[in-house]
């Protein structure tokens, strides 16, 4: 919580400094085409979880984890000579997490380096909106790096709007080419032989993990108060999909690292629906059905009801229900046979229901908030998450938009 306030304070100071001298307004049409900073988004959150089914220790053990995440996005605008609007996005995210279970990868140390890590994820994007021709195209590059994982990704997107702007059809294709440093639990990094201990050759090097994702979206205005979006993804993953520092204990007392297939096909389909009731209440709903070829099928249902106390202030209680079946390869601690081809005791892949409940508070004003002229939107969100297998989590998020 203290970190969240520190992050917010740093952000406040950066806004005050960056807008201390406002530029003179453009007068000539030529000048209005210049690249200008349009929007700055800042999101800071603190997440904490507790449970007793750590996958690192075979589905049994402390799951305490904290994550302090911060992301800053800058959006620049430029209009070209054909009156097409270009948006350039630059984002930097930094997450710092501590994990009790990661510390058990190498339990021979009192506190190993794996007990905490920092993830950096910069990205660049560009999109062009052509209003007369009713379409938008975009491309982007995404990167992520942490101690044992490096990811580089890219996307292309295309959206077509109807002439009355009541319908939008969107297509997007993403690819992530990731590389995972092999880290085995300390006791599985070598074998004891009559001549001494030898190194396990599988416990070193890096492994690839590639993800290809196609997204389809159809946004439709139904009436003056109702609009819906139909969303569908088709995703294919290949490479190292199991986590090599997660242990699995077998019925005979032996243990090994998690083994999962080297490919996975995912098919989620979702529907968003927003309805404005009267002048003060909005119903924001979301439903998703998910299935994959590992045997997981899931339903997600979300309902959020913003109540607008004024055009500038709203409070939105929300509830999310999620249920999933277990992956074919899941079994709890000491319930797998050593002869099985694939095995995991990761409870994220078990059958469970989860409930997520909380509130979002939102201020927005074109004239500024808290005395900051350019601060356009300020949001605070808290949520409590609970799973039927015992995992509990809390998350608090602060988001600010400066225009």
Partner 1 sequence: MKNRIALLFSGAILLGLSSCQSVKEYNKMYLNDSEMALTARKTQKSEMNFMLYREGASGANGGKTGGGCGCN
Which one of 4, 72, 235, 338 is in contact with partner 1 (CB under 8 A)? 235
Of 257-296, which residues contact partner 1 (CB under 8 A)?
264, 266, 268-272, 274, 276, 282, 284, 286-290, 292, 294, 296
d(CA 218, CA 259): 38
Sites for partner 1 among residues 172-211 (CB under 8 A): 174, 176, 178, 180, 209-211
Residue 79: burial class (beta carbons within 10 Å; 0-12, 13-18, 19+) = middle
Q: Which stretch binds partner 1 (CB under 8 A): 79-87, 199-207, 215-223, 367-375?
A: 215-223
The dihedral through the CA atoms of 201, 203, 205, 209 has a sign that is positive
**Smallest distance, Å, CB 13 to partner 1?**
20
Complex with partner 1: residue 331 or 398, whichever CB lies closer: 398
Question: Which DSSP symbol is given to 204?
Answer: S
Supply the minimum distance, in Å, between the C-beta of residue 180 and partner 1.
Answer: 7
164 part of the interface to partner 1, by CB under 8 A: yes
Write the interaction track for partner 1 spanning residues 86-125; mark x where CB under 8 A is met and - where it is not: ---------------------------------x-x----
Closer residue to partner 1 in complex, CB, 130/292: 292
Binding partner 1 (rule: CB under 8 A), the pick from 7, 140, 153, 185 is 153
Judge residue 104's burial from the number of C-beta atoms within 10 Å of its C-beta, 0-12 exposed, 13-18 middle, 19 or more buried: buried
108 membership: H or E segment, kind and range: none
How far is 178 from 341, CA to CA, in rounded Å?
Answer: 24
φ and ψ of 260, to 5 deg: -130, 160
Cβ atoms of 49 and 393 within 8 Å: the answer is: yes
Tell me the window of 124-132, 188-196, 332-340, 346-354 that interacts with partner 1 (CB under 8 A).
346-354
Q: Which stretch binds partner 1 (CB under 8 A): 24-32, 81-89, 104-112, 161-169?
A: 161-169
3-class DSSP assignment, residue 34: coil
Main-chain phi, psi angles of 115, to 5 degrees: -70, -15
């Amino acid at each position: 919580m203290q970190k969240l306030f520190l992050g917010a304070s740093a952000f406040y100071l950066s806004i005050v400094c960056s807008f201390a001298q406002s530029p003179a307004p453009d007068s000539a049409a030529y000048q209005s085409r210049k690249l200008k900073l349009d929007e700055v988004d800042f999101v800071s959150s603190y997440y904490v979880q507790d449970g007793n089914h750590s996958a690192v220790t075979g589905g049994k053990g402390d799951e305490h984890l904290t994550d302090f995440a911060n992301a800053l996005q800058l959006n620049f605008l430029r209009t070209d000579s054909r009156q097409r609007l270009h948006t350039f996005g630059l984002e930097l995210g930094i997450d710092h997490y501590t994990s009790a279970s990661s510390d058990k990868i190498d339990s021979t140390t009192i506190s190993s380096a794996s007990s905490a890590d920092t993830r950096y994820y910069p990205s660049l994007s560009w999109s062009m909106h052509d209003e007369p021709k009713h379409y938008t195209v975009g491309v982007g590059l995404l990167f992520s790096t942490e101690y044992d994982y490096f990811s580089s990704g890219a996307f292309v997107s295309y959206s077509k709007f109807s002439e009355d702007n009541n319908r939008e059809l969107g297509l997007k294709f993403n690819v992530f080419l990731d590389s995972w440093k092999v880290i085995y639990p300390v006791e599985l990094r070598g074998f004891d032989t009559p001549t001494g201990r030898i190194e396990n050759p599988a416990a070193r090097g890096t492994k690839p993990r590639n993800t290809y994702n196609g997204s389809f979206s159809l946004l439709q205005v139904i009436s003056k108060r109702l609009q819906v979006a139909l969303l569908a993804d088709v995703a294919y993953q290949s490479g190292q999909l199991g986590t090599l520092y997660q242990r699995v204990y077998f019925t005979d007392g032996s243990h090994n690292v998690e083994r999962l297939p080297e490919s996975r096909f995912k098919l989620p389909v979702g529907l968003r629906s927003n309805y404005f009731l009267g002048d003060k209440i909005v119903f924001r709903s979301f439903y998703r059905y998910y299935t994959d070829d590992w045997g997981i099928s899931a339903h997600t249902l979300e309902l959020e009801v913003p109540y607008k106390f004024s055009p500038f202030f709203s409070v939105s209680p929300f509830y999310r229900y999620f249920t999933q079946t277990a992956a074919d390869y899941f079994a709890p601690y000491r319930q797998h046979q050593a002869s099985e081809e694939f095995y995991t005791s990761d409870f994220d892949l078990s059958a469970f229901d989860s409930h997520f409940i909380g509130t979002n508070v939102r201020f927005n004003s074109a004239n500024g908030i808290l005395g900051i002229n350019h601060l356009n939107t300020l949001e605070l969100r808290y949520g409590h998450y609970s799973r039927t297998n015992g995992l509990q989590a809390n998350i608090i998020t602060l988001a600010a938009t400066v225009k």
